[in-house]
Amino acid sequence: MNLALEAHSLGKRYKRNWALRDCSLQVPAGRVAALVGPNGAGKSTLLNLAVGLLRPTEGTLHVLGRRPDGDRDLLDRVGFVAQDTPLYPDFTVSELITMGARLNRRWDTPLARDRMEQIGIPLDRRVEGLSGGQRAQVALTLALAKRPELLLLDEPVASLDPLARREFMQVLMGSVADGDTTVLLSSHLLGDLERVCDYLIVLQTAHVQLLGGVDELVNEHKALTGPRRQRADVAGVAAVIRESHTDKQTTLLVRTNGPILDPAWTVHDVTLEDLVLAYLAYPAPGRAVLGVAK
């Protein structure tokens, strides 16, 4: 399997706090991977490590087969949109594109200009005169004009209104539809990414809680309902992720390792959102990563 990003026991400590710890994960090339987790889970830290802005405290990290250390050979191949899409406020859009052309060996000026025209952002407008949604689009365009093999986006839509969010995600998906670009984008809301991602990483309090292809994960997990009872071994269940009880009924969200044939349980499919919420509440930080897609 060709990996765009691979981490082994990766950790990053700020003074005494670990922002990321014992993080092992792979992102296969060509995927659109969602990095989901609550605020402070370590998403930004992971992305900043991947682009070489931070150095790991422990463990190893390979991006496109290299260690990210801020050298230009790797930076040329990675597009990065930082949190809050920082841009120079006094630059015009056109000047930002010129900046990209001056600073990158691989740069597609016509692509950048065409995209701005399509979205309807005037090239002579200063950044401080753009809306938040337009700013995010400009930042995305600057990252795409590098024709990156890996595109990293740190909470790109967090500060946008719902309409701008949808537009942004549409433009993003249109741009990487060819499948040559691996995308890793983070959000604290799965809803932003659910429709576009085919690979999922859930981070919780500095650890990886869940990792895998979206289809595999959804197929592997089931919701079981049956008469109320204490937890019992059910054939085909590898782990119970969440259980809830009413007076009469017990509901389990489980990871399966085979078909569930026990007639006492009714088996339902789960949505990706159910799955993520269940894992975020799963009280076992640092637990072995589940459901790695091959």
Partner 1 sequence: MMWLAWRQHRKQALFAAVGLAVLAALVIPTGISMRNAFTDSGLAACLRGLGTTEFLRGDGCDSLSDMFSGRYETLATLSMLFVFLPLLVGLFWGAPLVARELEHGTHRLVWTQGVSRMHWAGVKLGLVLAVTVVAAAGYALMVSWWLGPLNQAGQSRMAELSFDVQGIAPVAYTLFAVALGVFAGTVWRRVMPAMAAALVGFLALRLVVLVQLRGNFLPAHERTFPVIGQERPNPTLGDWTFSTGIKNAAGEVMSTGEQIQCGPAVAGRPDTICAPYGPGAYNFELYQPAGNYWPLQFIEAGLFTAVAAVLLFLAVRQIRSRIA
* In the complex, minimum distance from the CB of residue 169 to partner 1, in angstroms, rounded to a whole number: 21
* In the complex, minimum distance from the CB of residue 78 to partner 1, in angstroms, rounded to a whole number: 7
Closer by beta carbon to partner 1, 48 or else 256: 48
Closer by beta carbon to partner 1, 140 or else 223: 140
Closer by beta carbon to partner 1, 85 or else 250: 85
Closer by beta carbon to partner 1, 144 or else 253: 144
Closer by beta carbon to partner 1, 104 or else 250: 104
User: Which of 110, 278, 264 shows the shortest CA–CA distance to 190?
Assistant: 278
Give the residues lining the site for partner 1 (CB under 8 A).
Answer: 48, 51-55, 70-72, 75-76, 78, 80, 82-84, 86-89, 91, 95, 98-100, 102-106, 139, 142, 146
Closer by beta carbon to partner 1, 68 or else 291: 68
Retrieve residue 282's tokens.
């799963």
| 113 CB neighbour count, 10 Å cutoff | 16
* In the complex, minimum distance from the CB of residue 133 to partner 1, in angstroms, rounded to a whole number: 18
* In the complex, minimum distance from the CB of residue 113 to partner 1, in angstroms, rounded to a whole number: 18
CA 293 → CA 201, 206, 219, distances in Å? 11, 22, 12
* In the complex, minimum distance from the CB of residue 31 to partner 1, in angstroms, rounded to a whole number: 21
* In the complex, minimum distance from the CB of residue 58 to partner 1, in angstroms, rounded to a whole number: 16
